[in-house]
Structure formats: structure tokens, C-alpha cells
Amino acid sequence: MRIRKAVIPAAGFGTRFLPFTKAVPKELIPVIDKPTIQYVVEEAVAAGIEDILIIVSTGKQAIQDHFNPVFDLEQRLEESGKIAELEAIRKISSLANLHYVYQRELLGLGHAVLQAKPFIGDEPFAILLGDTVTTSDNAPVTKQLCDAFDTVQSPVVAMETVPMEKVSRYGVIGGTEERPGLYRVHEFVEKPSPAEAPSNLVVASRYVFTPEIFDYLEKTPRGKGGEIQITDAMKMMLADYPMYGRRIDGRRHDIGNKLEFVKSTIEFALKRDDLRDDVKVFIKELIGE
Ligand code: G1P
């Protein structure tokens, strides 16, 4: 079955990016001139997804404002002949069918995803974390997961390798490689110590699930950090259903992390024709070459 729907959790506080995120949602942190969540929506659309539910909370109104049309601005751009800007603005509000739901209590990622149950109904769907951009020289990462889902017809999570000392920041996977890059999962552990971790393969911010995940989320107790963790629901589901991990062909950019934000800004600037040369000159000057 084709994946037509996606969920973007965007309700959490951006405590790692304070003070900026005091008044602005972390999902609106820009990389060059586009907010993080717009890259995320574009990634979903590039995977063929048509309907997207964004999970928000109080203080996140600016996310909806970003995607809603602003007719006065469009008129002003049209009158002043700024056609490229006009097209860019119009494109934002016509990317996909966007829907919103409030997570009233911030009880964790698993609880956020549970808010999507009525929207998803009885079909497979993707989850893309709203504070993380991915890049790839080949197919977009969500498309890679959808293609893997087509093959195995079972839930698939994006995976990447991290240094062992960093595993405690992630959901960690124990699995067996069945085909190149595709692992049958036999263990999920949320944020273990390096000693407890089954490997250094971690869940990398994108998932494709079948709707059964909601049955498990409904019975998931609070776990790490007192939060309802999606990893704990995945662990329970593993007892009843096969699950897979797809090693992503590409890079994950966790924009809510300050160093990653700086690195991504430079990397994206060096990929843009309008910025590359000037940025290169500036960096060379800066490091005194
Ligand atoms: C969440 C998940 C974790 C995953 C990570 C990156 O953690 O709980 O399993 O590895 O995203 O995708 P968070 O970064 O919200 O603490």
C-alpha cells in the first residue's frame, strides 16, 4: 500500500536552542532562508505524501502562520514585480494538505504521535521529526524508507551509525543485516549507556509504521525521562510483528543542536549557487588562508 500520509511532531520545547526558542518554535530555526520544518514538509512531499498532520502545542502558532497564505504580501510582491519571491511564497501554502492537532500535555514523542491516530485511520504512514533536516545525493530519506516499506510491507525506521560514546542520545537498534542496508530488528533501546547498547546503529528521525503502532502506544507507560517513548512502543510491537531498519543513504542534520546548526548552515550555503563563492572567500579570510 502506498504511503499517503505523514505526521510531523513539532510540539516539544526547544530547550537545546535557548534563548532563541523562548518565543520562536525550534521548527522555525532557519537553514539559510527556509525554516527547518519547511525542508521537512518538502521531504515528505518528495516521497509522494499528500496529507501531513503537524503536531503542535501552545506557542507554536507561527508554524501555521508560515504555511498559511498571506494575501497582502502576495499582492505587494506582485505589484512590485518580485515574481521569484511571489512564487516562493505561493509554493509554501500549496505544498501539501496540512492539518494540525494540539498535544495538550507534553508527555513525550510517543504521546505526540498518538495524537495522530484519528487522522491516520487504517493505513501505513511516515513520521518525520520536525526539527531535523535530511539530505541525500540520491533519493530523499523518507522516499528511501517508503521504498523499503514497499519491499518488506512492515514498519521501517531510518538508521545511522554514530560513535559509541554518543549512543545515549538516541534510540539504539540491535539487528541483523538481511539485504545491503536493510536490517531485521530484534531489539530497540531508548537512550542506553554505551555499555547497555546493542550496537551503535541508531534511529535517525524518520519512521514508516503500520497503524498497529497506535495499539502499542496506547499501552506504553512512561519510560526514559518520565516520557512516553515511541521506542518503547516499537519494542513491544517487535514481539508481534517483524520490523526493519534502513541505513540511510544521506545525512541527518539535527538543527536543534547548536553545532549541527552552524555546520548545516555552512554546508547548505556551499551548495547554493548564489552564496557558494562569497562564503568560500569569507571562510578562507576568516581562517587566515
Ligand atoms: C528522539 C527519539 C530517539 C531517536 C532521536 C533521533 O529522541 O526518542 O529514539 O533516536 O529522536 O531521531 P530526541 O532527540 O527527541 O531526544
* pLDDT tens digit sequence for 129-183: 999 999 999 999 999 999 999 999 999 999 999 999 999 999 999 999 999 999 9
Is the pLDDT at 229 greater than 80? The verdict is yes
Question: Is there an atom of ligand 1 within 6 Å of 41 CB?
Answer: no
Q: How many Cα atoms occupy the beta-carbon half-sphere of 35 within 13 Å?
A: 20
Ligand 1, atom nearest to 169 Cα: 16
Average pLDDT over residues 16-33: 96
Question: What is the mean predicted confidence (pLDDT) over 86-99?
Answer: 92
pLDDT higher than threshold 80 for residue 289? no
Residue minimizing CA distance to atom 13 of ligand 1: 170
CA distance 1 to 15: 38
Please state the atom number of ligand 1 nearest to the C-alpha of residue 190. Answer: 9
Q: Examine the pLDDT at 102 and tell me if it is beyond 90.
A: yes
93 pLDDT band, cuts 50/70/90, is: confident
Beta strand ranges found along 79-214 (DSSP E): 97-102, 125-128, 132-135, 156-161, 171-179, 182-190, 201-209
